[in-house]
Structure 1
C-alpha cells in the first residue's frame, strides 16, 4: 500500500490527460458525464490497492468497463413519476402510481426472455454458446467472446449473423405474422 501512496502523485499526473481523453471519447453522445466516469476510474484504481503493470492499458480497459456500466445504469433508470395517473380531481390534483401495470410488464418481459432463451437453446451448432455470450449480463467484448469460445475474432461477426438469421427464422415461425394494414384486395 505504501508503494501505491508513493507512486500515486506521479501516476495521477501521468494518466490524467489520457484518462480525460478516454472518458471524453467513451461518453460522447451517450448522456454520461465524462467527469463522473473519470472519478469512477480513479476510485477503481484506489480500490485495486496495487499498481497496475501496464497503467495505460489498464486505464483504457477500466474506462470502457465503467462506461458500459454507466450506459446500462442510464438505460435502467426511470425518472420519478414515469408511470403516474392523475387521481380524479381538478387542477393541481395529486398523482398516484399505477400499481396494476408494473407486475404485468414484469410478467410479459419474463415470458419474452424465457421464449428467447428457449429458442437460443434450440439453435444448431455453436450458436447457443455464442448467443448466450452475446446476451450475457457481463457485456463481453468481441475479443473476450472469441477467447471464451476458442474461435478467431474475425469469424465472430459472420457466425453471429448466421446464428441471428437462424434465430429470426425460428421465431418467425413461432410468432404470428402481424395483421396487414391499409386496404386489402
Structure 2
C-alpha cells in the first residue's frame, strides 16, 4: 500500500503523527516538528523503493514504528555528538575520542579495563541476567517489547527482572571494590 497515493489517508495520519512525535520528541532530545519531518522523509524514501514487506499494511502501526525508530536514531546521534570547545572534541585536541591519535593512553587503558570488568561481571550473573543486561546495553537500543520478544519473557516482568539483575550486579561489584578508608575516624 502506498500512502502517498491516498491523500485522504495522509491527511488522516497527520494528527496521529503530530501526537506521536510530540510524545517521543522530549525523550529523543529533539523538536517534535523535526521528528515529524524525519518521519515524512522516511515515508517518501520508502515510497521510492521497491515494495517492502514491512510497508504499511496498517498505516497507523507503521507510523508509530517510524516515529519510534526516528526517535531512537536521534538519541544515538545525540550520544555520539560532542560540541565544539568540549575537551573531548577531536579538533580541540582532547582525549577520549574513540582511540584516535589524540587520545591519552592512561584514560584509554582505564576505559578498556572498566568495560572488561563490567562485561566479566555481567557474564558471571546468575540465570537470565547476563542475556537481559547484554540486551539492555546493546548498541541497537532495543525497546522493552523487543527485549521481551528476544528473551521470550513477558514485557511486564522485564522491569522486576531487570531490577533484580542490577541489584545482583551492584552487590557483586561492591564486593570486588575495596571498602573506603576510615576518613579521619580513629579505629
TM-score range normalised by the length of the shorter chain: 0.7 to 0.9
How many pairs are equivalent?
172
Provide the secondary structure at the position in 2 that maps to 1:173: helix
Query: How many angstroms does 1:37 deviate by?
Result: 1.0
Range with bigger deviation, 137-146 or 43-52: 43-52
Match of 2:99 in 1: none
CA distance in 2, matches of 1:37, 1:134: 24
Task: Give 2:185's aligned residue.
Answer: 184
For 2:107 and 2:46, locate their aligned partners in 1 and report how far apart those are by CA, in whole Å: 39
2: CA distance, partners of 1:47 / 1:106: 40
Task: Indicate if the aligned counterparts of 1:22 and 1:60 stay in contact, CA closer than 8 A.
Answer: yes
Q: Give the 3-state SS of the residue equivalent to 1:57 in structure 2.
A: helix
> For 2:141, which of 131, 135, 139 is the aligned residue?
139
Separation in structure 1 between the aligned mates of residue 65 and residue 36 of structure 2, nearest angstrom: 13
1:65 aligns with 2:69: yes
Q: Which residue is 2:116 aligned to?
A: 114
Distance across 2 between alignment mates of 1:76 and 1:69: 11
- Partner residue, 1:89: none
Computed over aligned residues only, the root mean square deviation of the Cα atoms, in angstroms, reads 2.6
**TM-score between both structures, scaled by the size of structure 2:** 0.78
Instruction: Give the TM-score of the pair, scaled to structure 1.
Output: 0.79
Q: 1:171 to 1:78 in 2, by over 3 A?
A: same
Give the whole-Å Cα distance in 2 for the aligned partners of 1:55 and 1:102: 50
Name the structure 2 match of 1:44: 42
Unpaired runs of 5+ residues, structure 1, are: 85-94
Q: Unmatched 5+ residue regions in structure 2?
A: 96-101
